[in-house]
Structure 1
């Protein structure tokens, strides 16, 4: 049985957009996963220690895998794209892939929290998620993405022009 899953992507090292595109291409090759749509790109100030700004996006996936299996694959994609495990918390990284929402699922275990524990606080995740699924409901808070975004204070997040990233909201094709 498959579900719609929203994955947040972020990068603030190297060619940020190329890193996001590489991660998207890797996700499109996962068995039992189909990329449905991509948000626009957003640039955001980092959370944590001083470091370069992030480039962020959200991708909607149709996923037939269990949440833990998808997490393992996403962590492998991060490693393949140059992310070192056990790096500085909230430090700079070439790629960051987070499962934000999983349709009809709440996951609470030591390795995975879905919905993402910080989702409702982070405009850099909610802005692109809003483009794809404004009516998606946060299953713990009982609020839509649109409602969560409307309650959030302004943060340093702005939409950017893409040069390599697929056109906004269009299905990704191989």
Structure 2
């Protein structure tokens, strides 16, 4: 049986190059991708160059732990250093946001807390899945974005043409 997962992608080191590479790998592994628009945002938690962020949804038959391990392997193949600081520049960051409606603490916290706190996660998720309901908050992502204090973090849509990924 297939599950639907939502993945946050971000980069602030050669972001167009690394987002494209991440999308290519995700497409190779999972098949067709549903992609949000791309947003540029200021770095959060440290001083650094701006990030490009987006959210992607894919079907999978993998278990949660397998999905997380897959994302870590993709990050490592694209220059992410093992044990790198959380608030630091990065080539590629892949975070599992949602795995169907699963609520869990292990092997990863789901739904991911950043959905409710970071505009660079919530806005693209609300664009990609506006009617989907957060399994804990009980509100749609469109409603959560409408209620979000947009003065907290600066971000804006950007046009990036990755061309064909295959």
Counterpart Cα distance in 2 of 1:130 and 1:24: 19
Asked if structure 2 preserves the Cα contact closer than 8 Å seen for 1:34 and 1:63, the reply is no
C-alpha distance in 2 between matches for 1:94 and 1:125: 17
Q: Do residues 82 (structure 1) and 63 (structure 2) align?
A: no
Residues 27, 33 of structure 2: 8 Å contact kept: no
* Range moving further from structure 2, 74-83 or 128-137: 128-137
C-alpha displacement of 1:163: 2.6
Gaps of 5+ in 2: none
Aligned partner of 1:70 in structure 2 is 67
Moved >4 Å (runs of 4+): none
Q: CA RMSD for the aligned pairs?
A: 1.4
1:106-157 CA distance string (max 9 Å, x none): 2212x41111112111110111111210011111111110121112111201
Bigger helix share: 2
Q: Structure 2 length normalisation: TM-score?
A: 0.93
Q: How many residues align?
A: 164
Question: Cα distance, 1:89 vs. partner?
Answer: 2.1
Query: Displacement of 1:165 after TM fit?
Result: 5.8
Counterpart position of 1:137:
133
Deviations 1:52-107 (A, max 9, x none): 11000111101111111000000000000000011122111111001111212122
TM-score (norm 1): 0.89
The answer (yes or no) to whether the contact 2:11–2:18 under 8 Å persists in 1 is yes
